Chain A
Amino acid sequence: MESKREIEVAKTQSSVRQGLDETSSERVGAYVEAGIEAIRDEMRRNPDIFYIGQGIGPRGGNFAQTRGLWNEFGDERLRDTPIAELAQVGLGIGAALAGSRPIVDLVFFDFILEASGQLIQQASTIHYISNGKFRVPLVIRAAMGGVRNTGPHHSHTFYSFFMHIPGLRVAVPATSYDVKGLLKTALRCDDPVLFIEHKALYNTKGPLPAQEYTVPFGRPASRRPGRDVTLIAVSLMVSKALEAAEILEREGISVEVIDPRTVAPLDKETILQSVSKTGRLVILDEAYAACGFSAEVAALASEEALDELDAPIRRICALPAPHAFSPSLNDYLIPSVDRVVREVRSTLRG
């Protein structure tokens, strides 16, 4: 007989899955197409949205992430900027204050660092210090992660930095479905949002309904139900978590994979309920362990679910070195499916 807690968990998870509604779509689309579709829909719907960035106009973006949009919306609403991230974000904040809804595309997420003062000290604080009188409905769009060994300046996954800052929202979608649904939510949100895609996911395909829908912030997706261990991952790491779970299933280890989808806000309940059910928590992150997303989830479980844990919490993260150009070094630094399998196994077997 199931305990009361297990029944509650099962109920929550089924509602999370319904919230996802991915399985009901027969239409399949690429992750990059999902972003274009969301932006096109929202720009048609809302004349206040405009889009700026480097090479996102007639060229259609480094990753084809704006392909076709300039043809429809033209320079008036979609415009190339010089290589000046600080100016782009500053312009976006000013325009947002004046009533527009700018999308500022930084293309490579690494370059957010050039504009961080604007984002952290201006965009995130203005609503608060104006006592709610001014809003900054700004969407920063960029792609993170290493593909094709591009070294430390084009590979980082710095999204945790922005979880640290009150007033910012941070979305890290793993699927086509979530890109479309979360980007629509971002474009209707009155707070500054960092919408961070993953370069290695742009060409992946998944269910992508043509009809209107949104995915709310702070609502995790259960990617795979399991009994023995809870594995938390976002963005590209979700697919590695699922691959590892498949392998471990053959050994009789049942892994529950949960994708928070947004790390700010970070939903506590789904994580805590899953940990209460499985008694074990592993966090998989493409970024570093220190002060990161994995540290935040581990702190949450130790503060609020310590009694439920049957094993120490484990974190599987990028090793603490800059990204290497050499493929052999970089593959060693970034969590692999093998490493996930090994570490989850040892969490189970001690």
Chain B
Amino acid sequence: MPGIEVDGNDALAIYEKASEAVQRARQGEGPTLMECRTYRWFGHHEGDPGASYRSREEVEMWKQRDPVKRLREQVLASGWAEPDDFERIDEEVRSLIEDAAKFALASPQPEAATALDQVFCG
């Protein structure tokens, strides 16, 4: 089985290599192992600064390789989309998250008596 290493912060590189792997699989040539090298910017959970087990420099180095920013630059350079398209997508995502957060914060705590609901399907 072939094993390949890919820059996990380069969406187009992953697309390209994954396409090859999928094609191999569809041709009956078996699986491919893809190692996409990437990084978690934030802590392990909300409230973990993620600083006690790695250096600030390491985190900063990976932030320079922001995969979203890179994809945006690649797409703009190729002329596949305009800056306006990205702004519209950003706005859609932002309002989706804001609405969800508002809904969650405005909702009451669940009734204690519902604590045993949903353990089984019915």
Contact = CB atoms under 8 A, between A and B. Distances in A.
Interface of A: 55, 59, 319-322, 324, 326-333
Contact of A322 (B53, B111, B112, B119): B119
B110 A328 contact: yes
Contacts, number: 29
Given A327-B109, A328-B109, A328-B110, A55 B115 contact: no
Interface of B: 52-53, 109-116, 119
B110 A55 contact: no
Nearest to B116: A321
19 contacts: A55-B53, A59-B52, A319-B116, A320-B116, A321-B115, A322-B119, A326-B110, A327-B109, A328-B110, A328-B111, A329-B110, A329-B112, A329-B115, A330-B115, A331-B112, A332-B112, A332-B113, A332-B115, A333-B115
Contacts of B113: 332
A-B complex: 5 closest residue pairs judged by Cβ atoms: A332-B112, A328-B109, A329-B115, A332-B115, A321-B119
A55, A319, A321, A333 interface centre (most CB from chain B within 10 Å): A321
A326 B112 CA distance: 10
Contacts of A332: 112-113, 115
Contact of A328 (B52, B112, B116, B119): B112
Contacts of B116: 319-321
A55 B119 CA distance: 34
Nearest to B52: A59
Nearest to A57: B53
B53 A59 contact: yes
Given A59-B52, A59-B53, A326 B119 contact: no
